[in-house]
Every structure is written in C-alpha cells, then in structure tokens.
Amino acid sequence: MTSTPPELIAALARIRPDVQGMHAYAVPDSTGLLKMDAMENPYRLPPALRQTLGERLGQVAINRYPGGRADDLRAALARHAGLPAGWALMLGNGSDELIGLLALACDVPGASILAPAPSFVMYQLSAQLQGLGFHAVPLAADFALDEAAMLAAIERHGPALVYLAHPNNPTGTLWDAATIARIAAAQAARGALLVLDEAYQPFATRTWLDVARADAAAHSHVLVMRTLSKFGLAGVRVGYLMGDARLIAQIDKVRPPYNLSALNIECALFALEHADEFAAQAAAIRAQRAALLDALAAMPGVRPYPSEGNMVLARVADSGDAQADAHAAQRVFEGMRARKVLVKNVSTMHPMLAGCLRLTVGSAPENAQMLAALQDSL
C-alpha cells in the first residue's frame, strides 16, 4: 500500500465524519452461487422476447438525454397500476432513489421519519444520510404492526413521514387494513405524510391503492411507492411514486432531471407491453411460495413465517438466547453458502430476527436446491 499523501488526508477530512463512520451497503459476491438473497425474480424473458428487446434497445438514441419517453413510461405505469383520479406519478431510479428523494424533500429542521422495525433498511439510512431523526417502532411478537405503539410514537415524535412496507421486508407480513387506516388518520391529523411501499405488490393479496381509489380525496397525504424490481426488472432500476398530483409536483422538484436512463425507460416500456408474461411469472412465484412454505414447515427445527412477498423468513434457531441463535443462524448460512446457495442472514438486523434467515422464492428447481442445502446445513 502506498503512503497516504497529505492532500488526500486533508480531502478525506472534508467528508462528513458520520459518513466516514458508516459501513457501505454491502452487496455480497455471488459468483458461482445460486442467488436467493435479494428477492429477484428467477425467470428471464423467453428468448424471442429477449431478441426483440435487444433490437428495440439498439434503436434508442443514446446520444440524446432521455426525453418524452419518460412521459410515455409514466402514462404506461399509471395505466398498469390503475392510478387514482387526481393522482400523479413520478419516476425514480429504483425505489431506493425515491426513498432518498423523500428524505430530501422533507428535510426541514427537526423533521423525522418513523417506521416499524424490523423493516426495509433504506428508510433509516435515508434519514441518517439526510440528517433527519429516525424512530423505529418494534413490531408485535407475531410480526404484526403494534398499533398502540405506532400511534403513541407518532403522537410523541410527530414524524414528517411514516413508512409502511406493505408487504413488509424481511417478514413478508401484510398489515391489517384497519390499523393502516388508523395510522393514516393519525398522520392526517398531524398534517404529515404516510408512504405505503408496495415493492412486493405482485405477490400480495391486497393493495392499498384500492383504498385510495375508493376515496382519493380523503388520502391526499398518503403516497404509494412501487418498483419494477420484484416484478422482474431488478437490473433495470425503475421505481415510481404515486400520490395527490399537488404533492407529487412538489416532491418531483428534488428529482435530478434525467434520473432514469433512456435504456431503463425503453426496457420498462417493453416490459409493460408484455405485462401478461410478468403476471404469469408472478403467479408461478406465488405457487412456488406455497410449496416452499409447506416444505419448510415440514422440516424439523425450522419455523417459516407466513409471507405475502417473494421471500420467506425462516427461524432456524430458537433457544431464546439471541446471541446463541444468531451464531447458529450464521453457521446455517455459511453451510448453505458452502453448498453454493446464497441466502440472507438477517439474524443481526434486529433482536426479533435472531436465528432467522430470509429465503427468496425461486423456481421449483432453485427451491429444491435451496431446501436441500438448508436441510444439510442444519
């Protein structure tokens, strides 16, 4: 290693100390492994469609900034989602970007973000990066929302923004509709926002958009976020945020003008023209989820939790000693990796998850390989 020049030492000192103290978001190396760690769709497009897509992308004028096709994509997504009357839609380079933009848009002195825990890590990270407060409200023991605790925390902290991942990651839980309604009412009463993050909507039995469509006027403070990642385009990076047109117009001001590449846009338009193909894939994944849950439930020493997403949270160690359970889950995780299957060890993410692994629902052969690796690693 070469010595650190004084200019670099000085330059590094200009980077925020809290950022220097952070760990970077780690994407594990999956070379040679069956990738079951990130809730990706296991299915690719049929070869004929891949060929057509390639030809179509070849026609894109990549010498130009992305233009009117972004409007075409917004219109296609609005049709696809069934956008409520009076609502508008903005695009993000994945939902991750939208989560960052929401923190940026709400950054006034004293503002904070609140979410149940465990849930999607980017809610907290976006608050931290933007210098906003973050309040995590533990879920109930069965991973349902602790409504009383959520309402008390909203009352106490008055968060600008409440996030509900619906269904939740990593637990796969779909929240009780009446509880969501009361949280929405609590945020409305304080003049604050609620975001329903429906990343896993293709695999869920309910969407909150039905509530919005039934009475959009009563829900002008609620935003619904979706992504094409779990739909089958994780590599393309397209997320979208829907809400009252007046609210979306304000949030859209903090979006970089060309945040989606012309290739992302064209690829997403192509995918939406073939939405039936992706709907069939989602149906296959839902069927595989049921089979995976049955197989896990039949495995001694494993407790799977019900899921409305394309992942299953499974407890593989349950001694009641969180540290011992986390160690045991790490051993199972490593055993699976040695057998060429990469899952996500969520054991240390939250005390309630000690002893838990998160398994992506794959195709039938992938699930069989994952189950065999799990069985052999227990």
Q: Which of residues 181-210 bind ligand PLP (CB under 6 A)?
A: 197, 199
169 near ligand PLP, judged by CB under 6 A: yes
Q: Smaller CB distance to ligand PLP: residue 198 or 266?
A: 198
Q: How far is the CB of 263 from ligand PLP (least distance, A)?
A: 16
94 near ligand PLP, judged by CB under 6 A: yes
Q: Smaller CB distance to ligand PLP: residue 201 or 369?
A: 201
Q: How many residues bind ligand PLP (CB under 6 A)?
A: 13
Q: How far is the CB of 125 from ligand PLP (least distance, A)?
A: 12
Among 95, 201, 259, 345, binds ligand PLP (CB under 6 A): 95
Q: Smaller CB distance to ligand PLP: residue 264 or 377?
A: 264
Site stretch for ligand PLP (CB under 6 A), options 27-35, 92-100, 273-281, 349-357: 92-100
268 near ligand PLP, judged by CB under 6 A: no
Q: How far is the CB of 61 from ligand PLP (least distance, A)?
A: 26
x/- letters, 227..246, toward ligand PLP (CB under 6 A):
x-x----x----x-------
CB atoms within 10 A of CB 369: 18
Q: Smaller CB distance to ligand PLP: residue 135 or 377?
A: 135
Q: Smaller CB distance to ligand PLP: residue 96 or 244?
A: 96
278 near ligand PLP, judged by CB under 6 A: no
Q: Give the closest residue to 90 by CA, choosing from 212, 310, 231, 257.
A: 257
Among 70, 154, 165, 194, binds ligand PLP (CB under 6 A): 165
Distance CA 130, CA 137 (A): 20
Q: How far is the CB of 7 from ligand PLP (least distance, A)?
A: 36
Phi-psi label, residue 238: left if phi above 0, alpha if psi -120 to 50, beta otherwise? beta
Among 34, 36, 39, 162, binds ligand PLP (CB under 6 A): 39
Q: Smaller CB distance to ligand PLP: residue 165 or 354?
A: 165
37 near ligand PLP, judged by CB under 6 A: no
Q: Which of residues 114-133 bind ligand PLP (CB under 6 A)?
A: 120
Q: Smaller CB distance to ligand PLP: residue 123 or 333?
A: 123
Distance CA 321, CA 298 (A): 24
**Which residues contribute to the site for ligand PLP (CB under 6 A)?**
39, 94-96, 120, 165, 169, 197, 199, 227, 229, 234, 239
